[in-house]
Homo-oligomer: A and B are copies of this chain.
Protein backbone atom coordinates (compact mmCIF):
# COMPACT_ATOMS: atom_id res chain seq x y z
CA UNK A 1 0.00 0.00 0.00
CA UNK A 2 2.75 2.43 0.96
CA UNK A 3 5.88 2.43 -1.16
CA UNK A 4 9.18 1.57 0.49
CA UNK A 5 10.14 5.21 0.15
CA UNK A 6 7.02 6.27 2.01
CA UNK A 7 7.42 3.65 4.73
CA UNK A 8 10.95 4.80 5.42
CA UNK A 9 9.96 8.44 5.33
CA UNK A 10 7.17 8.02 7.85
CA UNK A 11 9.42 6.10 10.21
CA UNK A 12 12.09 8.76 9.87
CA UNK A 13 9.66 11.61 10.42
CA UNK A 14 8.34 9.98 13.58
CA UNK A 15 11.89 9.45 14.76
CA UNK A 16 12.86 13.03 14.04
CA UNK A 17 9.77 14.44 15.68
CA UNK A 18 10.40 12.39 18.78
CA UNK A 19 14.06 13.30 18.98
CA UNK A 20 13.37 16.99 18.41
CA UNK A 21 11.32 17.13 21.58
CA UNK A 22 14.28 16.13 23.71
CA UNK A 23 16.23 18.99 25.28
CA UNK A 24 19.51 17.90 23.69
CA UNK A 25 18.06 18.07 20.18
CA UNK A 26 15.60 20.91 20.48
CA UNK A 27 15.84 23.19 17.46
CA UNK A 28 18.93 21.35 16.23
CA UNK A 29 19.56 19.75 12.89
CA UNK A 30 19.76 15.96 13.02
CA UNK A 31 22.18 14.30 10.65
CA UNK A 32 20.58 12.11 7.99
CA UNK A 33 23.42 9.66 8.44
CA UNK A 34 22.51 9.26 12.11
CA UNK A 35 18.83 8.82 11.34
CA UNK A 36 19.54 6.15 8.75
CA UNK A 37 21.92 4.35 11.10
CA UNK A 38 19.55 4.46 14.06
CA UNK A 39 16.60 3.20 12.02
CA UNK A 40 18.57 0.66 10.00
CA UNK A 41 17.77 2.38 6.73
CA UNK A 42 19.90 3.15 3.69
CA UNK A 43 21.47 6.57 4.01
CA UNK A 44 21.39 7.00 0.24
CA UNK A 45 17.75 6.11 -0.15
CA UNK A 46 16.67 8.12 2.86
CA UNK A 47 18.47 11.31 1.88
CA UNK A 48 17.03 11.03 -1.60
CA UNK A 49 13.50 10.76 -0.21
CA UNK A 50 14.10 13.55 2.26
CA UNK A 51 14.70 15.92 -0.63
CA UNK A 52 11.00 15.76 -1.40
CA UNK A 53 10.02 16.42 2.18
CA UNK A 54 12.33 19.42 2.27
CA UNK A 55 10.90 20.80 -0.95
CA UNK A 56 7.40 20.26 0.38
CA UNK A 57 8.22 22.27 3.49
CA UNK A 58 7.87 19.48 6.03
CA UNK A 59 11.56 19.49 6.81
CA UNK A 60 14.24 22.12 6.86
CA UNK A 61 17.73 21.06 5.87
CA UNK A 62 21.15 22.44 6.50
CA UNK A 63 24.52 21.48 5.05
CA UNK A 64 27.94 21.37 6.61
CA UNK A 65 29.08 20.31 10.06
CA UNK A 66 26.17 19.92 12.48
CA UNK A 67 23.92 20.02 9.46
CA UNK A 68 21.03 17.69 8.85
CA UNK A 69 17.29 18.06 8.92
CA UNK A 70 14.75 19.31 11.40
CA UNK A 71 10.97 19.58 11.34
CA UNK A 72 9.40 22.87 10.28
CA UNK A 73 6.25 22.26 12.27
CA UNK A 74 5.40 20.80 15.66
CA UNK A 75 4.53 17.07 15.64
CA UNK A 76 0.89 17.88 16.24
CA UNK A 77 0.77 19.76 12.93
CA UNK A 78 2.30 17.06 10.74
CA UNK A 79 -0.17 14.38 9.68
CA UNK A 80 0.75 11.05 8.15
CA UNK A 81 -1.26 12.00 5.08
CA UNK A 82 1.05 14.98 4.55
CA UNK A 83 4.02 12.65 4.24
CA UNK A 84 2.13 10.15 2.07
CA UNK A 85 1.00 12.93 -0.23
CA UNK A 86 4.53 14.17 -0.75
CA UNK A 87 6.16 10.79 -1.28
CA UNK A 88 3.52 8.57 -2.90
CA UNK A 89 0.93 11.10 -3.95
CA UNK A 90 -2.77 11.00 -3.16
CA UNK A 91 -3.92 8.87 -6.10
CA UNK A 92 -4.51 5.76 -4.04
CA UNK A 93 -7.29 7.52 -2.16
CA UNK A 94 -9.04 8.66 -5.32
CA UNK A 95 -8.59 5.62 -7.51
CA UNK A 96 -10.91 2.74 -8.16
CA UNK A 97 -9.59 -0.56 -6.81
CA UNK A 98 -10.40 -2.22 -10.15
CA UNK A 99 -8.61 0.51 -12.07
CA UNK A 100 -11.53 2.30 -13.71
CA UNK A 101 -10.80 5.89 -14.60
CA UNK A 102 -14.20 7.14 -13.52
CA UNK A 103 -15.67 5.23 -10.63
CA UNK A 104 -18.02 7.00 -8.29
CA UNK A 105 -21.20 6.52 -6.33
CA UNK A 106 -23.16 7.48 -9.43
CA UNK A 107 -21.05 5.49 -11.82
CA UNK A 108 -19.64 2.62 -9.79
CA UNK A 109 -17.68 -0.54 -10.49
CA UNK A 110 -18.98 -3.83 -9.13
CA UNK A 111 -17.29 -3.45 -5.77
CA UNK A 112 -17.21 0.32 -5.45
CA UNK A 113 -19.79 0.33 -2.68
CA UNK A 114 -17.51 -1.87 -0.57
CA UNK A 115 -14.13 -0.43 -1.37
CA UNK A 116 -14.98 3.28 -1.24
CA UNK A 117 -15.88 2.84 2.39
CA UNK A 118 -12.65 1.09 3.33
CA UNK A 119 -10.58 3.53 1.31
CA UNK A 120 -12.16 6.46 3.11
CA UNK A 121 -11.51 4.89 6.46
CA UNK A 122 -7.85 4.53 5.61
CA UNK A 123 -7.73 8.10 4.37
CA UNK A 124 -9.43 9.19 7.54
CA UNK A 125 -6.81 7.40 9.60
CA UNK A 126 -3.95 9.04 7.73
CA UNK A 127 -5.61 12.44 7.99
CA UNK A 128 -6.32 12.19 11.68
CA UNK A 129 -3.04 10.72 12.79
CA UNK A 130 -0.24 13.17 13.50
CA UNK A 131 3.36 12.59 14.42
CA UNK A 132 2.38 13.52 17.93
CA UNK A 133 0.00 10.57 18.10
CA UNK A 134 2.83 8.25 17.11
CA UNK A 135 5.17 9.83 19.65
CA UNK A 136 2.61 9.36 22.40
CA UNK A 137 2.71 5.65 21.67
CA UNK A 138 6.47 5.67 22.04
CA UNK A 139 6.00 7.10 25.50
CA UNK A 140 3.19 4.72 26.34
CA UNK A 141 4.77 1.41 25.41
CA UNK A 142 8.00 -0.03 26.70
CA UNK A 143 9.23 -2.07 23.75
CA UNK A 144 7.71 -0.17 20.89
CA UNK A 145 9.37 -0.22 17.47
CA UNK A 146 10.33 3.14 15.99
Chain B residues contacting A143 (CB-CB under 8 Å) are 107
Provide the bound-state CA to CA distance between A4 and B129, in Å: 29
Chain B residues contacting A107 (CB-CB under 8 Å) are 143, 145
Q: Nearest-CB distance from A19 to chain B (Å)?
A: 13
A8, A111, A144 pick with most chain B CB within 10 angstroms: A111
Interface presence of A118 (CB below 8 A): yes
- What per-residue 1/0 map shows which CB atoms of A104-146 lie under 8 Å from chain B? 0001111101110010011001000100011101100101111
Q: Which of B4, B10, B121, B141 contacts A108 (CB 8 A)?
A: B141
Other A-B contacts than A11-B98, A98-B145, A118-B122, 4 sampled, CB-CB below 8 A, are A107-B145, A109-B144, A110-B145, A114-B125
Q: Nearest-CB distance from A118 to chain B (Å)?
A: 5
Bin the interface of chain A by size: 35 or more
Provide the bound-state CA to CA distance between A10 and B135, in Å: 39
Of chain B, the residue at the smallest CB distance from A1 is: B1
Q: Which of B99, B122, B141, B145 contacts A4 (CB 8 A)?
A: B99
Of chain B, the residue at the smallest CB distance from A124 is: B118
